[in-house]
Amino acid sequence: MLLLGHIGITAFIAGLIYMPLSGMILGVLLPDIIDKSLFFLGIAPCSRFIAHTIFFFPLAGLLTYAITKNKKLAFAVTLGIMLHLVEDLHDSVPFLYPLKNYAFLSTCGFGVSFSGYFIVTEVIGAALLLFMAFFNSQYLYIRKLLWDFIIRFFRGNK
């Protein structure tokens, strides 16, 4: 997934679940910022490396909390990173590295694909951002309906 897909989908979800947008966006972009930088510097063998593992998001969340002392922001960063990993499931991601050796790490590089998946997710991300910007009252209404449903569901329709 590319930039608009990551940001649009994550911003939409952040708004629905009342999470700090800044933390979620930072979290969803952090794996690519770190791993692509390490790759371009010649430190990582692949543009999806350490920050694309399941070990990175708890560490990033703890570090965010240690710096900010803000639990909600730290959770938002952590959730953003987790969403990034889920959004990248279509492609090779070294979830368990270094516990598991991934053959693709020695052959992958950096490239931008214009496959159907990338185009569709970019369009969805852009559409969600536009919807949130230009139809904010409808977005807030959808969020209210969602939470009313969740509350009724867990209370047993009382």
Question: Would you state the pLDDT for residue 88?
Answer: 83
In a domain, 82, yes or no: yes
Sign of CA dihedral 98, 104, 106, 110: negative
What pLDDT sits at residue 100?
63
Domain membership flag for residue 77: yes
The answer as to whether 106 is a domain residue is no
- The number of beta carbons lying within 10 Å of the beta carbon of residue 45 is 15
pLDDT at residue 72, rounded to an integer: 96
Range of the domain at 135: 3-99+113-155
Q: Name the stretches of the chain with pLDDT < 70.
A: 92, 94-100, 102-113, 157-158
Q: 38 in a domain, yes or no?
A: yes
Rounded to two decimals, what is the model's pTM?
0.82
Split into its structural domains, the chain has a count of 1
The answer to whether residue 145 is domain-embedded is yes
- What is the structure's pLDDT at 66? 97
